[in-house]
Amino acid sequence: MDLPANLVLQDGTLNEQLILKRETLYQGMNGRLIERFYLNPTTSLIFKPLTNNGQIGKEVWINEQVLPLLPAIYPKIFSYSIHEDPNLNWMILEDLGKLLHEFHEELVLRVARSAAGWHSLSLEKLIGVPEIGLKPPFVDVVAEIRSRKEELLLLVPLLNLKEEDLHQLYALLDQVVFSDRLVLSHGDLHVGNFAVVRDQLMILDWEHAHLSMPYWDLYHLIDMSHPLFPKKVTSALRENALNAYLDRVDFVVDRDMFSQEYYLFSAVFSMWMLLLIQKDLQGNGGKWSIEQLKAQFQETAASLGQCLEALSKKS
């Protein structure tokens, strides 16, 4: 698509004189707005400035090095700017239209199979793979969970768990040595970052892509809770999603060991999430409502309970 040369001004903002109308889609972590704008009544595009100052250039890197190796699962980038000044970083993307972000088994399995595709990419063929994502690496999450054990024990009455359940989890965490396999992770694969458009699966917002364990994307897809996208996860759905993923990956894997490591990863990350949600609740919600956070807490607790139950059966 040919765009006007001065569509984006030197200060990194859209040129109002060339735009018919604009509408805000959402606000990024740094306060900048992602917008749909119209050049004429029938031509709309998405303007996406940098939404997290630590992720400069990542989506362009993904578009240039990774997405050409995969099916068409991402909106096209028509123009972009990468600059050391965060305010001058932006992209103009294809407008996919109004997106419906759903969570149901058929779609989850479809996303899991797609994730197996980018997880199977050879890292040796990719130059400059980012090593840092949005959240702390798993090793730091484990360290925090170990240091805050007493706080987590205080939450037990709210989690519909027994204190011995948590002690058993800590014991298992001391015994299990996770696989050292790393893959290219999307980094933030929650419900709001995938949708089906005209029967084509689209995976959005790759700015948090980085090297990580395969469980990272799977946890965000299956068990990670989000205040804006409530969902109900069952043990059967979780098992089916893991199997759909394992059926598609190219690397050799012990399925039983992979499942056990996933359940442990998920349980640990859910405990870390519960501490974050509890902190937000004590702080009167912050950017989320108290009702949203309470629902997120219960959803996370349910996933934790299911994963602990699965671990007990595998031990």
Tell me the pLDDT tens digit for each residue of 7-37: 999 999 999 999 999 999 988 878 889 999 9
Phi and psi for 111 in degrees, rounded to 5? Answer: -70, -40
- Map tokens 């706080």 to a residue: 151
pLDDT in tens, the chain (315 residues): 789 989 999 999 999 999 999 999 988 878 889 999 999 999 999 999 988 877 888 888 888 889 889 998 999 999 999 888 988 999 999 999 989 999 999 999 999 999 999 999 999 989 888 988 889 999 999 999 999 999 999 999 999 898 999 999 999 999 999 999 999 999 999 999 999 999 999 999 998 999 999 999 999 999 999 999 999 999 999 999 999 999 999 999 999 999 999 999 999 999 999 999 999 998 876 788 999 999 999 999 999 999 999 998 876
Both tokens assigned to 244:
């759909």
Distance of CA 36 to the CA centre of its chain: 22
3-state helix, strand, coil in the chain (%, to 5): 50, 15, 35
Predicted local distance difference test score (pLDDT) of residue 113:
98
Task: Give the closest residue to 50 by CA, choosing from 25, 26, 36, 30.
Answer: 30
Cα end-to-end distance, the chain, whole Å: 56
Q: How far is CA 189 from CA 4, 182, 221, in A?
A: 33, 17, 5
**Cα dihedral value 15, 17, 22, 27, nearest 10:** 30
Res 67: pLDDT: 86
pLDDT of residue 132: 86
Q: Which of 119, 310, 125 is nearest to 233 (CA)?
A: 310
List Cα–Cα distances, 165 to 170, 172, 212, 258, 299, in angstroms.
Answer: 9, 11, 28, 21, 18
Question: What pLDDT does 72 receive?
Answer: 87
CB count, 10 Å around CB of 3? Answer: 13
φ and ψ of 93, to 5 deg: -115, 160
> Of 181, 200, 190, 299, whose CA–CA distance to 246 is shortest?
181
- Confidence (pTM): 0.92
Q: Any alpha helices (H) in 181-289, and if so which ranges?
A: 214-222, 235-248, 255-282
pLDDT of residue 315: 66
